[in-house]
Amino acid sequence: MFPKLPPVTQALLIANAAVFLLQMAVGDAALANFMLWPISDGSYDPSSPGFRFLPWQLLTYAFMHGSFSHMLFNMIALYMFGAALEHTWGNKRFLTKEEIGDETISG
């Protein structure tokens, strides 16, 4: 599909597109346990089962996107910079940077 892209960049692009299509098909309510809900946005309700913190959300929310344009621009940035960074840093270090970056940038 993307013959010149390194494997981690390619896998991240495909995974993000697949999760976005799933999100559009089943709706946000079905995937609420995979989204990281900020306390400060006013929608947080600790008594609601769909709005509680779950440990895997630190990983899964990085694949959730609020709109097509949000996903598109994130994937353009990953496509533009991901391959160069992965070639420079290597697969493991690039994937680590992606995960740490996703966890710290959400603030």
| pLDDT tens for each residue of 28-57 | 666 666 676 655 555 556 666 556 666 766
Give every CB contact of residue 107 below 8 A, 6+ residues apart in sequence: none
Question: What pLDDT does 48 receive?
Answer: 63
Q: Are 20 and 65 in contact (CB under 8 A)?
A: yes
pLDDT for 16: 84
Mean per-residue pLDDT of the chain? 75
Q: Comparing 7-16, 60-69, 77-86, which segment has the lowest mean pLDDT? A: 60-69
pTM of the prediction?
0.69
| Matching residue, tokens 């809900």 | 37
Q: What is the pLDDT of residue 107?
A: 44
Which pLDDT belongs to residue 58? 67
Phi, psi of 100 (to 5 degrees): -65, -40
